[in-house]
Amino acid sequence: MRDASSPPTKVLMVEDNPGDARLVQVLLAEVGGFDIAWKQDMREAGDWLADNSPDAVLLDLSLPDSHGVATIDAMRRIGPDLPVIVFTGLSDEAVGMAAVKRGCQDYLVKGQGDGQLIARTIAYAVERKSIERERAQSAERMKRVLLQTVKAVSLTLEMRDPYTAGHQRRVAQLATAIGERLGFDPDRLEGLHTGALIHDLGKINVPSDFLSRPGKLSDAAFGVIKSHPDVGAEIVDGIDFPWPVSTMIRQHHERLDGSGYPDGLRGDAIILEARILAVADVVEAISSHRPYRPSLGLDAALKEIQSKSGSHYDPAVVEACLGVIHDNGNAVFRDDHDLPLVT
Ligand SMILES: [Fe+2]
């Protein structure tokens, strides 16, 4: 099955039992095509991996300096992208399954099977890992394309309404910093960032002079503007985002006491992402320039959210926003696509 001209498969074997290690070496030598480095504990393995990159790792889980699944985690730290096959004893095959669930590519039961079986297991593990890598890369690419598409949509709206150019991006920066402070995990942060980037998408349906007109708007004009959360939510409703983007958009003008729009929702009926967007939106709007007025400054923005904390805005979100602004000042709005707080 092996092409004699192909280079040997480099295997790192981490095994503290010399008898077990020798047996594997002998069995694989009979099959041929393997170059095995044998290390007896994780420290030795770590030192060796600093200068070498094997094709696969054979890993005993009970080592002098590591035991059980902790050994898998330790191997992940020192060789994050390596195919790993664990050795298990006859009586603990369940450990092998647990190892596979934890990201190992396969397991071998000590004392069972011959060199051919070990060789085949290594070859499959290498192949499986390479497929996993390709899948991860393709998922990563899809994610990037999704983000670029969302940014393009965001930019489309802002090109039409230059007075609020950058608004959604700046809101996204602030909202993400608030979410981070509230302990959101990276995936939830990404969802928040995505929703924030297009939270005003529905304004595409609002005549642009309504958006940039100085002075007071007529009730009719204001009514049209107030439809934008609904329109935006409707536009993205058919997109199968892995986050509640449509709800974020629909609820970003809702207020805790029910005084917001479009549904007059109260308290927890408004999702946390939308409560964050509400705060980030108003802080960005007040502190940036508008066609009909100069910037009122960050202080005015912070006063606004503090005075309405608990009535309009979620107090925990207000608190987090104050912390973010205290630590970063205006820099939190940095208008830089590729330096997001989420990566
Ligand atoms: Fe809005």
Where in the sequence is the domain holding 319, given as residue range(s)? 161-333
Residue 155 lies in a domain: no
Residue 105 lies in a domain: yes
* DSSP SS3 for 161: coil
* Same domain as 322, residue 183: yes
End-of-domain residue from the set 117, 134, 151: 134
What confidence tens digit (pLDDT) does each residue in 296-338 have?
788 899 999 999 999 999 999 999 999 999 998 878 887 544 3
Residue 153 lies in a domain: no
pLDDT the model gives residue 4: 64
pLDDT the model gives residue 338: 39
Ligand 1 centroid to Cα of residue 166, in Å, is: 13
Which residues are catalytic, by number?
203
Ligand 1 centroid to Cα of residue 261, in Å, is: 10
CATH number at 257 reads 1.10.3210.10
Ligand 1 centroid to Cα of residue 175, in Å, is: 14
* Same domain as 192, residue 85: no
Residue 246 lies in a domain: yes
Residue 156 lies in a domain: no
Ligand 1 centroid to Cα of residue 257, in Å, is: 18
Residue 179 lies in a domain: yes
pLDDT the model gives residue 36: 97
Ligand 1 centroid to Cα of residue 188, in Å, is: 21
* Same domain as 211, residue 75: no
Residue 2 lies in a domain: no
Residue 176 lies in a domain: yes
Helix (H) or strand (E) holding 214: none
> What gap in Å lies between CA 166 and CA 337, rounded to an integer?
10
Ligand 1 centroid to Cα of residue 339, in Å, is: 24
* Same domain as 304, residue 196: yes
* Same domain as 207, residue 83: no
Structurally, the chain folds into a number of domains equal to 2
Phi-psi region of 36 (alpha: psi -120 to 50; beta: other; left: phi over 0): beta
What confidence tens digit (pLDDT) does each residue in 109-129 have?
988 889 999 999 999 999 999
Peptide bond into 291 cis (omega under 30): no
Low-confidence ranges of the chain (pLDDT < 50): 336-343
Q: What is the rounded end-to-end Cα distance, in angstroms, of the chain? A: 43
* DSSP SS3 for 121: helix
> What gap in Å lies between CA 280 and CA 287, rounded to an integer?
11
